[in-house]
Amino acid sequence: MNNDTFNMSMRKFLKQVGVTSQQAIEEHVRTAGLTSGQLKAKVTLTFEGSDFVHEVNGKIDLD
Protein backbone atom coordinates (compact mmCIF):
# COMPACT_ATOMS: atom_id res chain seq x y z
CA MET A 1 0.00 0.00 0.00
CA ASN A 2 1.30 3.42 -0.96
CA ASN A 3 0.57 5.61 2.06
CA ASP A 4 0.62 8.86 0.05
CA THR A 5 -1.84 7.51 -2.51
CA PHE A 6 -4.04 6.04 0.23
CA ASN A 7 -4.09 9.27 2.26
CA MET A 8 -4.86 11.46 -0.76
CA SER A 9 -7.62 9.12 -1.93
CA MET A 10 -9.14 8.92 1.54
CA ARG A 11 -9.05 12.72 1.95
CA LYS A 12 -10.72 13.16 -1.45
CA PHE A 13 -13.47 10.72 -0.47
CA LEU A 14 -14.02 12.36 2.93
CA LYS A 15 -14.15 15.82 1.34
CA GLN A 16 -16.80 14.58 -1.10
CA VAL A 17 -18.78 13.06 1.79
CA GLY A 18 -18.54 16.28 3.79
CA VAL A 19 -19.49 18.64 0.98
CA THR A 20 -22.37 16.56 -0.38
CA SER A 21 -23.69 15.81 3.10
CA GLN A 22 -23.69 19.49 4.04
CA GLN A 23 -25.56 20.34 0.84
CA ALA A 24 -28.13 17.60 1.49
CA ILE A 25 -28.66 18.74 5.09
CA GLU A 26 -29.07 22.37 4.06
CA GLU A 27 -31.58 21.39 1.36
CA HIS A 28 -33.56 19.27 3.82
CA VAL A 29 -33.70 22.10 6.36
CA ARG A 30 -34.87 24.55 3.67
CA THR A 31 -37.52 22.31 2.10
CA ALA A 32 -38.83 21.15 5.48
CA GLY A 33 -39.04 24.77 6.67
CA LEU A 34 -37.09 24.02 9.82
CA THR A 35 -35.95 27.05 11.80
CA SER A 36 -35.28 25.79 15.32
CA GLY A 37 -34.59 22.69 17.35
CA GLN A 38 -32.19 19.90 16.57
CA LEU A 39 -31.71 17.28 13.93
CA LYS A 40 -30.56 13.92 15.25
CA ALA A 41 -28.23 12.54 12.63
CA LYS A 42 -26.57 9.22 11.95
CA VAL A 43 -23.98 8.40 9.30
CA THR A 44 -23.14 4.80 8.51
CA LEU A 45 -19.94 3.89 6.66
CA THR A 46 -19.63 0.47 5.06
CA PHE A 47 -17.31 -1.09 2.51
CA GLU A 48 -18.74 -3.19 -0.29
CA GLY A 49 -17.74 -6.82 0.09
CA SER A 50 -16.88 -6.38 3.78
CA ASP A 51 -18.74 -6.68 7.07
CA PHE A 52 -17.13 -3.41 8.26
CA VAL A 53 -19.62 -0.94 9.75
CA HIS A 54 -18.80 2.40 11.37
CA GLU A 55 -21.57 4.64 12.70
CA VAL A 56 -21.36 8.24 13.81
CA ASN A 57 -24.28 9.76 15.72
CA GLY A 58 -24.74 13.41 16.48
CA LYS A 59 -27.02 16.40 16.71
CA ILE A 60 -27.21 19.47 14.52
CA ASP A 61 -28.53 22.59 16.23
CA LEU A 62 -30.76 24.77 14.06
CA ASP A 63 -31.11 27.82 16.28
Find, among 19, 12, 25, 45, the residue nearest to 56 by Cα.
45
Angle at 26 between CA 21 and CA 29, to 5 degrees: 125
Task: Tell me the pLDDT band of 1, cut-offs 50, 70 and 90.
Answer: confident
Judging by beta carbons within 10 Å of its beta carbon (0-12, 13-18, 19+), is residue 4 exposed, middle or buried?
A: exposed
For 52, residues 6+ apart whose C-beta sits below 8 A from its C-beta are 45, 46
Report which of residues 44 and 1 the model is more confident about.
44
pLDDT for the residue 47: 98
pLDDT for the residue 7: 97
pLDDT tens for each residue of 3-53: 999 999 999 999 999 999 999 999 999 999 999 999 999 999 999 999 999
Instruction: Quote the pTM value.
Output: 0.87
